Structure 1
Amino acid sequence: MIWNLPNILTLLRLLAAPALAVMFLYFDRPYADWFALILFAGASITDWIDGYLARAWKQETKMGAMLDPIADKAMVVIALMILVGYSHEHWTPWLVLPATVILFREVFVSGLREFLGDVAGTLKVTKLAKWKTTLQMVAIAVLFAQGIFEHYGNATGASWTGNAGLVLIWIAAALTLITGVDYLRKAMPHLKETS
């Protein structure tokens, strides 16, 4: 692996993903919520920074291109697992369906890319997919913030952030579904060739 700053940031983001779960294993709430929010927001920001620096400094590498989407998916998947597991009973049913759509699509598209191998370049990341990832990260950060308000007894803040987070995660799930269908449509000619 080439140890340039963009790749180091990507690797740190990948390592931050399981650290989110550790926050909830070793810290009481609301400290776990605070640490998870700060860690998740910081890692999400590095997603933009490492891509920007890699392009600006002409330090794009195959390793970075491979690790970047894995780090994104790991952050989102682990954060969603935590949110579903630790969310207040009131929010959980409304969180499970969009989380399921997001998790299914991420696994499906990853499997599709792996199956297609060399022709997986036809499944390049689209602008809509980048917006999808951004919206997922914003929604998850807002939902982590909801846990903080809830544990400090701020019912208004908890209600506002909870509702905003749920709306954002449903929109993110819709974009996730749309981009997943788009990738499948682009892959279909290659799937026919390989069958």
Structure 2
Amino acid sequence: MQLTLPLLLTIGRVGAIPVVMLLFYLPVPYARQAAMILFVLASVTDWLDGWLARRWQQESRFGAFLDPVADKLLVVAALILLLYDRPGIVLALLATVIIGREIAISALREWMAELGARKSVAVSWLGKLKTGFQMTAIALMLWEQPLGELPVYQVGYALLIVSAVLTLQSMFAYLRAAWPQMQGDSDADHS
């Protein structure tokens, strides 16, 4: 396996997760804001690594595997931080919807790939929109401190609600696309 810049960016996104967590908990001024900045930089590499890999023809099987894993780990870790910091039923439900959807769609994509129908559950514009809202919401909630009169955390919270709605919509869109395959062979493994 060749270590290309796109692959290093993906690996770096995974490596950024414990640093974001450490910064979040450091008892020094602006630590949360530093955590947010690193989270945003790591989030941007999600787009950049794929774009570079396609542009430079450096796509790899390992990169294709690690990229979505890195994205999900980054989001899950950030949601756990936020929920631990400010526990509440609404935030717990939002986190559960977002994390549950990621698990369900990952499993669906794996299953569809086994059937040779992965393209029917390829990333859609709705999924990309969901990701944009989700990353923005989490970043604002990590920042937490108001910017002048702007209640940053509350804006992020509202965007996380929008993200959860988009999360459900995109999940149902993927399930609808996969439904014809799901109604297939009744002798399939039901483990």
From the superposition, tell whether residues 21 and 184 of structure 1 become closer, same or farther in structure 2 (CA, over 3 Å).
same
Two-structure CA RMSD over aligned residues (Å): 2.2
Q: Which has the higher contact order (CA 8 A, sep 6+)?
A: 1
Match for 1:112: what amino acid?
L
Q: One-letter code of the match for 2:85?
A: Y
**SS of equivalent to 1:3:** coil
Structure 2 residue corresponding to 1:191, chosen from 165, 168, 182:
182
CA distance in 1 between counterparts of 2:183 and 2:95 reads: 30
Alignment partner of 1:167 is 2:162: no
C-alpha distance in 2 between matches for 1:95 and 1:37: 18
Alignment check: 8 A CA contact 2:112 2:121 kept: no
Q: Which residue of 2 aligns with 1:16?
A: 16
Unaligned runs of 5+ in 1: none
Letter in structure 2 aligned against 1:187: A
- In 1, Cα distance between equivalents of 2:51 and 2:28: 35
Q: Return the alpha-carbon distance in structure 1 between the equivalents of residues 129 and 61 of structure 2.
A: 23
Partner in structure 2 of residue 80 of structure 1: 79
Partner of 1:49: 48
CA deviation vs aligned residue, 1:57-94 (integer Å, no higher than 9, x gap): 2222222222111111111111001001112x6xx343
One-letter amino acid matched to 2:156: G
Alignment of 1:132-171 (within 5 A): 132-146=130-144, 149=145, 156-157=149-150, 160-171=151-162
Residue 189 of structure 2: aligned partner: none
Number of equivalenced pairs: 184
TM-score by length of 2: 0.85
State the alpha-carbon separation in 2 of the partners of residues 21 and 83 from structure 1. Answer: 10
Q: Residues of 1 paired with 2:6 and 2:31: CA distance?
A: 28
Q: Using the TM superposition, give the Cα deviation of residue 121 of structure 1 relative to its aligned residue in structure 2, in angstroms.
A: 3.3
Distance in 2 (CA, whole Å) between partners of 1:194 and 1:67 is 31
Runs of 4+ in 1 over 4 A off after TM superposition: 154-157
- Cα 1:24–1:162, aligned 2, differ >3 Å: closer, same or farther? closer
The structure that is helix-richer by fraction is: 1
